[in-house]
Structures are given as structure tokens and as C-alpha cells.
Structure 1
Amino acid sequence: MQLYNNLSNEERAALIAEAGKERLTISFYKYAKIGNPELFRNNLFIKWNALDVLGRIYVATEGINAQLSVPADHFKAFKKHLDSISFLENVRLNIAIEHDNFSFLKLKIKVRNKIVADGLNDDTFDVTNKGVHVNAKKFNELIEDPNTVLVDMRNHYESEIGHFKNAITPDVDTFRESLDLIEEDLREHKEDKKLVMYCTGGIRCEKASAYYKHKGFKNVFQLEGGIINYVRQIEAEGLENKFIGKNFVFDERRSERISDDVIANCHQCGEPADLHTNCANEACHLLFIQCDSCKSKMDNCCSTNCQEIIKLPYKEQKELRKGQGNSNDIFKKGRADHLPYKKDLRNIFETLKK
């Protein structure tokens, strides 16, 4: 039985367009003990493939982390299947603010060591001793408290285009980098400050809150359901929106607009812009912020060198890539040296140390 995709992105996109059906973009996670992740993964693929579910899902012995696209007319069947799995019954589903039928073009379910790469040894602390989950209303109250330290648990390229007002935004490329950095720089405030954290959908805060409690922080809070759930709550309850800019998402949309503020700049010309693009040169594929003008001028490329390469016949491009790994720049997420307006490193904790 086939347990993998056999369609290209282009073929899948054509099928979605031809079907003309609305699709819902959804994310969820759950920490749970999974005895045989490989078997669990295969069963999910068989069921979800039959429902035309697409997305990126990670399964590990510690649980599941899923970001996916479901045909609207298959949602009830999808939810029924989730509820048939004991630890996923009534799991919170974060439904996207802005829908796009092409947010995912393949079904990828991968078995990993962890559902989020946190670099932690879970045997050294109680991962179930988490922080206090708070809703949007309580979160708004907490972050107005002068005794609160609000920390964005996402990476720099996510917070660069949008974040909560007055949030500390660690200048890191990965989640694992932020954990020790935050613990070190806030070590003097473990007892006198309320540590309030948020991320995209809540999963990073689940582990981080338990880690920081283990490290001695006395008052740890996390935004329930992350930014995605926060936006739905403030709209439903008529609360003040304290998030400025766009919410970075890990699918083809790349972001959802939360407020009209544009707080970032094009990495090539410096003009206000908050749309990420991947360099069109497949040997580069650098993620960076590019305005419409530069996108047109540079043909969706991050440099003139990449622009010259994509003009070559595809066979020649393929030959150039042969035996070459990805450029190290791909891991810098917009910090490549040839981008004149890349985000500068800075000490984000200086105000706390004064």
C-alpha cells in the first residue's frame, strides 16, 4: 500500500483548482506517549490521504505536531477520526485566520525524535509541570502589569514581521537557542517578575514553561493556543488587539495579517515590507523579506548572482547544483551578508539590565 505522495506540487495545485472546493488550514499539537510512532504514522497517512488531507505532520514518542489543510466538506469526517484516537479526542484545533486552498500541496507525515526541536533532555525535568494557560482576556491584563516580562518564543524572522507590543523578541535562529538565552538574561527576575510567553500555536510554550519552572521561575504563564487562538478570541469577544503586524506561519501563505502595521523592511532596499519570499534559485532558497518592487526587479531572487543562475537553462542549473549541499545562508533566514537591510543583531535585554 502506498504510504507516500506521488504527485508534484504543480499536479496537486491543478487538482485543487479543478475541484474548486474550499479547504480549511488547521494546526494542532498534543504531547502524549506513543508506543509505536511508525505504525501510528502509517495509520494516519492511510486515513488522512483518503480524506484528501494535505500538510506537514511530525510524530514522535512524545506526541504529534500537525499543520494541515482539510477539504471543508471532509472536516466532520476528519474530526470524527481525531476523536476516535483517545489522546486526540477534543484536541484544540487552531483554524487559520486567513484561508488559502493552496496552503499545503502534499501530505507529509514524518517520524521524528521530537515534535519540536528543543534540544532538551526531557528526563532531567518534569515536562508535565507546565505554566498557567491564559486566555486572550487574561493575557491582555497580564501584559499591562509592570511586573510582567513578556517573551516571544519564536525565532527572529517570525517576530520581525509581527509581535505583541512591548514583547522581548530574542534574536535567535532556532527555538533551542532561545531557551538558555532567556533563562540566563532573566536570572535576576525569577521570583519578582511574571514570565509570560507566547508563540504561534502554543506548542513551543508547552515545553518552555515546564523548563523555566524547573529552572526556578516562580510565576510562569503561557498564551493558550498561541497567536492564532488569541486573534480568534479578541474578534469573538471584542477585546483590544495588542498584536502588531503579521503572524508568520509555516505553510505556503507564510503569514497572516493581524493588524495593518508594517513593522519590517525589505532586506534589499530598506522600504517598509513584511512579505517573506524564498529565493527563486533552487540552490539558494534563502528566506528573506522582499518588497514588490524588488521582487519584480530581482525576479524573486536574493542577489544578482542568483538572478543570473535562474536565467540559465534548467539543465545547466541542475548541473551547477550537482554535488552541492544547500548554501549555509538558507539557515540564516534573512541574515545573509549580501542583504544590506537584514535585521541587525542586538541585545534585547538591555532595558531589563538597566
Structure 2
Amino acid sequence: MSYTVAALYKFVRLVDLEEKAESLQVFCKDVDIRGTLLLATEGINGTISGDGESVSRLICFLESWPEVDELDVKYSSSAGHSFSRLKVKVKDEIVTMGKSGIDPNEDAGTYVEPRDWNDLISRDDVLLIDTRNAYEFKIGRFENAIEPGTDNFRQFPDWADELVDGESQPAAIAMYCTGGIRCEKASSYMRQLGFDEIYHLKGGILKYLEEVSQEDSLWEGECFVFDSRVSVSHGVVSGNFEICYGCQMPVSVTDKESSLYEAGVACPHCSEDALESDKERYRERQRQITLARERGEEHFGDYANEKKAQKRKSKGAGGYQKNTSN
């Protein structure tokens, strides 16, 4: 059975967040929607999977909220559910920058449609910035893009501050990210720093890969996605990367040919630094995953979920959780 994956967001002023989260939780469970949905006073953000009809019903449900009206949604397909469970959370931000006073609802850069993106980034006076994390940039990027080298989006403002303090300033800046949300918020911050001509890719890389043919594309490599597919390529089809359960880094086909790679245990990025006790624990977990697959069952205890579970401040995975800090 083919499933639909939807990456969605909108910067919009939301009210009654807890009530919305509770109703959203009930709706998603009723139609077997899985994934993560974040609500904050600045808007909504999430990536979910489900059968096509259920996903369409969810989008209609969200767009029925008077503040939302119309979401930015990128659709793709997956052979199965791309997430093992559902999480609906109320947060301080729908994408965490950690800077107060940044409001894309008030001030942001100019949207650029995918069909116009190539012309923009081919200009000599445009500085092209990738607002994603370093590990995302490593497996795919636009030609001539600058990598801030960040491990998370909270670090982007510090990098941007250094840019504005530099000796020469770019005439124009173009920014992009996976689905459009990070570069939109980053554009708001850049505007606050005093940059006037700021552009960001509408719908992000995902929309570009959907609408621009591979023959005309300036994209190189694959695009990291935060679900079980790990990466997608042109046409938004599943890519060739997997996730290392030992370090959570994307693993390429070449990485898997290394003597340091052990499925479900370690990869060239982490093998030499990993403790043997951890490796043995991951081996046992991998054995359980393999047995579950052989029985045609779904295994929910992979390392990624265990790692996330350690960070939870409250129990009840899959339930609505109110966020008290970010």
C-alpha cells in the first residue's frame, strides 16, 4: 500500500493552542495519521504520513481553522508509514531559533517560486545560503551554496551576525531549506539585521525537486528528510541514504561498503569512537528488528526512538504533550 507524506507549515498567529492540540490529537488518531505536528503562537509546522484520503482530510481539518485558511504543503509518497507514532506538541516556536522578536508574520524576505529559482541563484550579485544543518548539506546542496556549518537552527543567528559584521556585504541574499520554514524564519532575522534584498525558496528543496526537471536542475545530490526515508531525490522519490542507529548520521552507499559499517550498530562516522558496550546493545536491538521484520511485524524500539525517548520530559509517547521550555 502506498502512503502519502505531507510536510506542512504556516506562519500565522494561532490562539487556543492547547484546545487545538487536543482536537488535532483526536482527529489524527481516528484516521491513523502518524508523524509530528507542532503548534505555537507563531503558527503550525509538521510532517506526517497516512493513506491519501486521511492526509487530505487532515489538511482540510487544519485549513478549517479560521487563522490558517491555507497551508504550505509538500506531498510525496512512501511504501509505508514514514513514522512509527504520532506526536502533537505545543511549543514556544514551530522552528526553534531561540531569538525573541523574530516574526515572519510581520517581516520576511521575498518568496521565489521553484521555476524562477535558477535565474536568481545564477546572478553574480546573489549570495546563496543553505540554512540547514551541516549533515544535511553534506549529502546534497545547490551549486555554489554557502554552508553556515551549523549543527542546529539555533546556531544560525550567530553565523548571520558574523556575516553582517564582515567587511563586504552582498547585494542580495537567497536562502533555502528542506521545506521552506527555516529559510523563511531566517529571512526575517536577516531583515532585522539590516539586509534589504532577501529571497527564500517557496516550498523549499522539496517543492523544487517536485517541479523542476532533473535536466534543468541546479540541485546536486539528495535531500535529507526527517522521516524513515532519510533522503529523497528528483521527483521527491526515496533516495539511497540510510540512518546509522549508532550516531544518527546519514549513511551513503559508499559508507556501507566500509569495513567500519555494521548495519544497525555503527558507521564510518562513529565506529572508532563508539563504546563496545554500546555496540553490543545495538547489535541485540538490530537482531530484534530483524526478527520482527521476518515475522512481518513492526518494530518500534529502534535506537532513534530510544534516543528521543530519553529526552522526553513526560511519559506517554504518541499523546499530546504541552511544552514548557524549548
TM over 0.5: yes
The correspondence for 1:128, drawn from 91, 97, 106, is: 106
**1-structure distance, mates of 2:284, 2:57:** 47
How far has the Cα of 1:86 moved from its partner? 1.9
The correspondence for 2:52, drawn from 48, 57, 72, is: 72
Counterpart position of 2:279: 307
1:154 paired with 2:118, answer no
Instruction: Return the letter of the residue paired with 1:111.
Output: V
Q: Deviation string for 1:15-69 (max 9, x for gaps)?
A: xxxxxx3210001111122222111100111112112111111111221111001
Counterpart position of 2:66: 86
The correspondence for 1:256, drawn from 223, 226, 232, is: 232
1:287 paired with 2:249, answer yes
**2-structure distance, mates of 1:33, 1:190:** 36
The correspondence for 2:38, drawn from 49, 52, 58, is: 58
Bigger relative contact order, structure 1 or 2 (CA pairs below 8 A, ≥6 apart): 2
The correspondence for 1:110, drawn from 76, 86, 89, is: 89
1:277 paired with 2:243, answer yes
Instruction: Return the letter of the residue paired with 2:249.
Output: L
How far has the Cα of 1:104 moved from its partner? 1.3
Q: Deviation string for 1:147-204 (max 9, x for gaps)?
A: 0100000000101000001000121101121222133125447865210000000001
Q: Deviation string for 1:88-145 (max 9, x for gaps)?
A: 323221112x52322112111111111111011126x775211010012321111111
- Asked if structure 1 preserves the Cα contact closer than 8 Å seen for 2:12 and 2:105, the reply is no
**2-structure distance, mates of 1:186, 1:64:** 30
**1-structure distance, mates of 2:40, 2:241:** 32
Instruction: Return the letter of the residue paired with 1:301.
Output: V
Secondary structure of 1:160's aligned partner: helix
Instruction: Return the letter of the residue paired with 1:47.
Output: F
Instruction: Return the letter of the residue paired with 1:150.
Output: L
Q: Deviation string for 1:213-260 (max 9, x for gaps)?
A: 11111210000010011112213xx8710111000000111110239x
Q: Residues 294 and 67 from structure 1, CA distance in 2 versus in 1: closer, same or farther, beyond 3 angstroms?
A: same
Instruction: Return the letter of the residue paired with 1:307.
Output: K
Q: Residues 253 and 311 from structure 1, CA distance in 2 versus in 1: closer, same or farther, beyond 3 angstroms?
A: closer
Counterpart position of 2:78: 99
Secondary structure of 1:184's aligned partner: helix
TM-score with structure 2 setting the length = 0.76
Instruction: Return the letter of the residue paired with 1:144.
Output: S
The correspondence for 1:232, drawn from 210, 218, 222, is: 210
- Asked if structure 2 preserves the Cα contact closer than 8 Å seen for 1:31 and 1:63, the reply is yes
Larger Rg: 1
1:49 paired with 2:15, answer no
TM-score with structure 1 setting the length = 0.70
Counterpart position of 2:173: 195
Counterpart position of 1:25: 5
Give the count of matched residue pairs.
277
Unaligned 5+ runs, structure 1: 1-20, 260-272, 315-324, 331-354
Q: Residues 206 and 297 from structure 1, CA distance in 2 versus in 1: closer, same or farther, beyond 3 angstroms?
A: closer
Please provide the CA RMSD for this pair: 3.0
**2-structure distance, mates of 1:62, 1:113:** 8
Report 1:1-20 matches (<5 A).
none
**2-structure distance, mates of 1:45, 1:198:** 31
Q: Residues 292 and 84 from structure 1, CA distance in 2 versus in 1: closer, same or farther, beyond 3 angstroms?
A: same
Q: Deviation string for 1:296-333 (max 9, x for gaps)?
A: 9524322362333445699xxxxxxxxxx969xx9xxx
- Asked if structure 1 preserves the Cα contact closer than 8 Å seen for 2:141 and 2:220, the reply is yes
Unaligned 5+ runs, structure 2: 287-305, 312-326
